[in-house]
Amino acid sequence: MGQLARSLLSIILKSDPYADFPYQDYPQDLQGWGSNDQIFAQILEAIAPTIVIEVGTWKGYSAFHMSEILKKQGKDFVIICVDTWLGGIEHIDDSMEINLNQCRKYGYPQLYFQFLANMMHLGCHESIVPFPNTSAIAARFLFKQKIKADVIYIDASHEEEDIYADLRNYWKILRSGGVMFGDDWNADALGYSVICAVNRFVKEKELNLQVQGNKWVIQK
């Protein structure tokens, strides 16, 4: 594990979540949507970040993809993955295609353990620090610890007010010159909430917005 990842693990979790974790009990199950789009490489190669924060990580596909890109740069880096691993409102409805009801144990979703297992199966766990908490509390903690990110990827709740709150909270811990980007710039119900929240934030901060496919990008 790199020095940066070890340092942030000691601050965020106080211990190594991967140590002695029985990852072989969980077959690799990588799942994502647009998690390996070309824009990841474009941003990471342009910024060459040392600290990346992913807000909303699910099973870790995009975190894995980003780690593979950053490994090629040959310097120490860390990706902090913020998630409750409890899903959103769309993940507790049996009528939805993707829901967490099939992976509960004693009533509690087990997605976090699948994330850990995936990272270990893929061999990228040494540069990825999970932060199991709400996005708001994680942002406050990181701000209090004076941790600044070079790149922040927003893909957590798809409710407009939640997205807007994530934009405001994580903008505070994005360094000057850093890039914030996100997913789901789509003409559907989920995408409409993203579009409204991002446009609102961009207008408020008087920022330049770029859109590439279903990804949006702003720079501080």
DSSP state of 17: T
Which residue is it, tokens 């893929």?
A: 122
Say if domain 3-11+36-219 classifies as CATH 3.40.50.1100. Answer: no
- Cβ atoms of 63 and 81 closer than 8 Å: yes
Q: Provide mean pLDDT across the span 186-211.
A: 89
Q: Is 218 helix (H, G, I), strand (E, B) or coil?
A: strand
The pLDDT, as a whole number, for residue 110 is 85
Q: Is 148 helix (H, G, I), strand (E, B) or coil?
A: coil
Length of the chain: 220
pTM over cut 0.85: yes
8-18 pLDDT tens trace = 999 999 999 99
Residue 49 has pLDDT above 70, yes or no: yes
145-196 pLDDT tens trace = 999 999 999 999 989 999 999 999 999 999 999 999 999 898 665 668 999 9
Q: Which two tokens stand for residue 17?
A: 């979540």
